[in-house]
Amino acid sequence: MTPGVAPKLRVVLADDHPIFRIGLRAVLERIAGLTVLAEAGSPLELLSTLQAHPCDLLVTDFMMPVDEQSDGLQLLEQLRRHHPQLPILVVTMLNNAGLFRAMLGLGVSGLLSKGSLADELPLAIARLRQGKTFLADSVQQLLLQDGEVRADRAQLQGSLSPRELEVVRLLARGQTVSEIAAQLNRSTKTVSTQKVNAMRKLGVSNDAALFLYLQELGLS
């Protein structure tokens, strides 16, 4: 490497649509100081690709449905567990404030709309290189409309702990608090408290609202 020249940002990109991956790669490769190491077209391929190709940034779609994995939040949880320090930029067509809050709660570094990819991707990369969070304009507007006081606090508001996410996911499958407590080897009081905390963070006030919210996330 030439003295005084910063190393290139190593990027892995993932999307289940090959045509979109081609377009995404083309936009990425126009950004100076960046190299695309590898691509993946499914959650399992992505996990194995990251093992084989250590990188500085993951740019990924949120939903890559396959038989063994159709939950984007679960994929993000797996990525965080195996690569806790890896910055993740999610590129999605989704338009759901609650889902954006859940992603931010799992520690993603940026949220970008596929519709504004060409305009905002270079800016997103620049922000992430500085160790900052990037939210697309459309994402910021949606969060603000949904009651967020400041977009830069979105990561702090509505973030669920791993145990709260676990309880919420089991609730979405129709299990009762008692059944969840038995399955997770926790007391019913602990599970009930985690459920209440999750509802507070998600901004829902009753079970009906919680289940509607979970339906929106595709978890029920």
CATH number reported for the structural domain that contains residue 170 in this entry: 1.10.10.10
Co-location of 64 and 141 in the same domain: yes
**Bridge partners of 86?**
none
Co-location of 85 and 15 in the same domain: yes
Domains contained in the chain, number: 2
User: Which residue ranges of the chain lie beneath pLDDT 50?
Assistant: 148-158
pLDDT above 90 coverage of the chain, percent: 34
What's the confidence (pLDDT) of residue 132?
Answer: 84
Residue 142 CA to residue 132 CA, distance in Å, equals 20
Q: Last residue of some domain: 103, 120, 153? A: 153
What's the confidence (pLDDT) of residue 94?
Answer: 81
What's the confidence (pLDDT) of residue 4?
Answer: 56
Residue 82 CA to residue 42 CA, distance in Å, equals 16
Domain that holds residue 15: 9-153
What's the confidence (pLDDT) of residue 150?
Answer: 38
What's the confidence (pLDDT) of residue 157?
Answer: 37
Co-location of 102 and 208 in the same domain: no
Co-location of 180 and 85 in the same domain: no
Co-location of 45 and 103 in the same domain: yes
Residue 191 lies in a domain: yes
What's the confidence (pLDDT) of residue 37?
Answer: 95
Co-location of 189 and 146 in the same domain: no
What's the confidence (pLDDT) of residue 7?
Answer: 82
Co-location of 119 and 195 in the same domain: no
What's the confidence (pLDDT) of residue 124?
Answer: 93
Instruction: Report which of 75, 9, 11 is spatially closest to residue 45, judged by C-alpha positions.
Output: 75
Rounded to 10 degrees, the C-alpha dihedral 185/189/194/195 comes to 110
Co-location of 138 and 208 in the same domain: no
SS3 letters across the chain: CCCCCCCCEEEEEECCCHHHHHHHHHHHCCCCCEEEEEEECCHHHHHHHHHHCCCCEEEECCCCCECCECCHHHHHHHHHHHCCCCCEEEEECCCCHHHHHHHHHCCCCEEEEHHHHHHHHHHHHHHHHCCCCEECHHHHHHHHHCCCCCHHHCCCCCCCCHHHHHHHHHHHCCCCHHHHHHHHCCCHHHHHHHHHHHHHHHCCCCHHHHHHHHHHHCCC
Co-location of 167 and 148 in the same domain: no
Any idea what the CATH number is for the domain that residue 133 is in?
Answer: 3.40.50.2300
Co-location of 44 and 113 in the same domain: yes
What's the confidence (pLDDT) of residue 97?
Answer: 80
Residue 4 lies in a domain: no
Co-location of 128 and 193 in the same domain: no
Residue 65 CA to residue 131 CA, distance in Å, equals 30
Co-location of 96 and 169 in the same domain: no
Q: Last residue of some domain: 153, 176, 198? A: 153
Residue 170 CA to residue 177 CA, distance in Å, equals 9
